Amino acid sequence: MTLERTVVWVHRDDLSPLSPALVSHPDAPAIFVFDDELLREWKISFKRIVFIYECLLELPVTIRRGDSVSEVTDFAAKHGSNRIVTSSSPSPRHAQIVSQIAQRSEGRLSVDIIERTPFVHAPRKLDLRRFTYYWNAVKDNVLGS
**Tens digits of residue pLDDT in 10-47:** 999 889 999 999 999 999 999 999 999 988 888 888 99
- For residues 102-122, give the mean pLDDT: 83
Confidence (pLDDT) at 129: 67
SS3 state of residue 125: coil
**pLDDT of the residue at 58:** 95
Residue predicted with more confidence, 92 or 112: 112
Q: What is the pLDDT of residue 124?
A: 65
User: Is residue 113 a contact partner of residue 88, using CB atoms and an 8 Å limit?
Assistant: yes
Each residue's pLDDT tens digit, 37-95: 988 888 888 999 999 999 999 999 999 999 999 999 999 999 999 999 999 987 888 99
* 110 sits in which H/E element: strand 110-114
Q: How confident is the model at residue 1 (pLDDT cuts 50, 70, 90)?
A: very low
Give the list of residues 6+ apart from residue 47 with CB closer than 8 angstroms, or none: none
Give domain 6-114's CATH superfamily.
HUPs (3.40.50.620)
What letter does residue 31 receive in the DSSP assignment?
E
Question: In terms of pLDDT, which residue wins out, 92 or 8?
Answer: 8
Domain ranges (residues) in the chain: 6-114, 118-145
Bridge pairing between strands 83-87 and 62-66: unpaired
> What's the pLDDT band for 121 if we cut at 50, 70, 90?
low
DSSP string for residues in 43-94: T--HHHHHHHHHHHTTSS-EEEEE-HHHHHHHHHHHTT-SEEEEE--S-HHH
